[in-house]
Amino acid sequence: MINSILNFFRKSLPVELETDSVKVSSRYKKLRWSVFASITIGYSLFYVCRLSLSVVKKSMISEGLLNESELGIIGSALFFTYAFGRFTNGFLADRSNIRRFMSAGLLASSIINLILGFNSLFVFFVVLWGLNGWFQSMGAAPSIVGLSRWFGNKERGTYYGIWSTSHSSGNALTYIFTSFIISLFGWRWGFIGASIAGAIGFLIIAKFLYDSPESNGLPSAAEFRNEPIGNTANDKTISALQLSVLKNPSVWILALASAFMYVSRYAIESWGIFYLETAKGYTNIEASSILSVYAAMGIISTILCGIISDKLFNGSRNVPALFFGIINVIGITLFLYSPAGQNWLDTFGIALFGLGTGALITYLGGLMAIDIVSKKAAGAAVGVCGIASYLGAGIQDVVSGELIHKFIVVTNGVKSYDYSLVKLFWIGSAALSVVLTCLVWNAKEQE
């Protein structure tokens, strides 16, 4: 049975190549656009199934079902399993049929969200949300491997950047779609609605994602784009190339920089709505609307960041990564320290933060690591960045939940929150990420 499962997910074998150059060109363009659209839309719907908990927190606390510390533990369960899943599945994705691998993960995540819509027990939530993290980790690596299989080196940054909009579009869908459903039907429908979105994504991926050019009778992306193929890399096995990724110190520094960036990123994505509701008096719809600006700006920056680094900096990511890192720190600081009642300042601060975060997810979350390793080990590089990033996100949720819960102030029976320490934690992490990114300024590609 195990062998049958492994064979089902194994990378498709090459088939006989099409010899008609006109047919090759036409079919290649059609299939790779299908691949690109399916991974971009599909991965955005992964996010809807991942962020549903973030939107329902205030409602669950208000109903006395869970407290802030418990919600932090539940959130961290997803991040920790996701971290190890990203690492493991990053290595597996290099060898897998990405259509089957990615669609199976989203289907399982959709089912878990549906089950959680009918549950409110803390232990049950921890277990299932943790499982959701593992299945969520089956989304990013297949997407990036798909980009490596179907797109050439000279266009990678542009398409990677546009694909990365799926992070922010998934955020926007969650903040607008999920919060609207909750306002009408209650918190349980936040999970049920996410489940429906995940099921739609499963169908899109299963129908429109193709495994590799070679398994469809087409040449490799490098051959199609007339790009040189490194002999050294071709002489090594995938295992040897993946091992070289693990031995590359620059990859690990980038992973650590990404980890600290993910602390600040998920601090806002997990607690931002709750913070606006409890610290600044916004309603759930108002807070979600402000966070949707963060998502929208993330879409803009992820589209632009790959184009900027490819066209203006000849494929180098260092200068734009530093620029967006500084913007990121300024944005989160303004968002957290602007006075209550200043809607335009909150919106401007979160817009800057979204602008910085969208680009940094692209650069630190995988693109800069892929630039300095063999493309046959792209999944491994993403796996290393993934495990560090989401360990950071998981630690963030535990620490943030505990700090928020510990410093509750009750005055005349009214509960309020002292966010002084947690703000420093979030901003300091963003700043440390910028410093670490500068340490790989001169890193070069290794075969």
Separation in Å, CA 218 to CA 25, 147, 223, 424: 9, 15, 10, 53
- For residue 7, what are its two tokens? 């064979």
Would you call 292 exposed, middle or buried from its count of C-beta atoms within 10 A (0-12, 13-18, 19+)?
A: buried
Distance of alpha carbon 287 from alpha carbon 267, whole angstroms: 15
Q: CA torsion, points 95, 250, 151, 243, in degrees to nearest 10?
A: -20
Please answer whether residues 190 and 181 qualify as being in contact, where contact means their C-beta atoms are separated by less than 8 angstroms: yes
Query: Dmax over Cα atoms in the chain, in whole Å?
Result: 80
pLDDT, position 230? 54
| The model scores a pTM over 0.75 | no
Which H or E element spans position 45? helix 21-62
Q: At what angle do helices 122-136 and 21-62 cross, to 10 degrees?
A: 160
- Per-residue confidence of the chain (447 residues) as pLDDT tens digits? 677 777 888 888 888 887 778 888 889 889 989 999 999 999 999 999 998 888 888 788 888 888 888 888 898 898 889 888 877 887 788 788 999 999 999 999 999 999 999 988 899 999 999 999 999 999 988 998 898 888 876 777 778 778 878 877 887 888 788 888 888 888 899 999 999 999 999 999 999 999 888 888 888 877 877 776 654 444 567 778 778 778 788 889 999 999 999 999 989 988 888 899 888 888 878 888 888 888 889 888 888 887 788 778 877 788 888 999 999 999 999 999 988 778 889 999 999 999 999 889 888 877 788 777 776 777 778 788 888 888 898 888 889 988 888 877 777 667 788 888 999 999 999 999 999 999 888 766 655
pLDDT, position 332? 96
Q: Taking the CA of residue 116 as centre, how many other CA atoms within 13 Å lie in the half-sphere pointing to its CB?
A: 32
Distance of alpha carbon 115 from alpha carbon 138, whole angstroms: 20
Which H or E element spans position 272? helix 249-279
Cβ count within 10 A of residue 345: 15
Distance of alpha carbon 99 from alpha carbon 146, whole angstroms: 9
What residue has token string 């800057």? 352
Distance of alpha carbon 201 from alpha carbon 205, whole angstroms: 6
- CB-based burial, 240-255: b 16+ in 10 Å, e otherwise: ebbebbeebebbbbbb
Q: CA torsion, points 332, 333, 336, 340, in degrees to nearest 10?
A: -120
- For residue 62, what are its two tokens? 């208000």
Tally of helices (H runs) and strands (E runs) in the chain: 20, 2
3-state helix, strand, coil in the chain (%, to 5): 80, 0, 20
Distance of alpha carbon 331 from alpha carbon 360, whole angstroms: 13
Of 365, 358, 392, 394, residue with least CA distance to 381: 365
Q: DSSP alpha helices (H): ranges in 280-341?
A: 284-307, 318-337
Would you call 231 exposed, middle or buried from its count of C-beta atoms within 10 A (0-12, 13-18, 19+)?
A: exposed
Q: Is the dihedral of CA 208, 213, 214, 218 positive or negative?
A: positive
DSSP-based three-state secondary structure for 340? coil
- What DSSP letter does each residue of 123-162 carry, written as one string? HHHHHHHHHHHHHHTTSHHHHHHHHHHHS-GGGHHHHHHH
Distance of alpha carbon 105 from alpha carbon 46, whole angstroms: 9
pLDDT, position 317? 82
pLDDT, position 141? 84
Beta bridge partners, 10, equal 96
Which residue ranges form the domains of the chain, and what is each CATH number?
Answer: 28-211+241-438 (1.20.1250.20)
pLDDT, position 445? 61
What residue has token string 């109903």? 63
- For residue 331, what are its two tokens? 């944005």
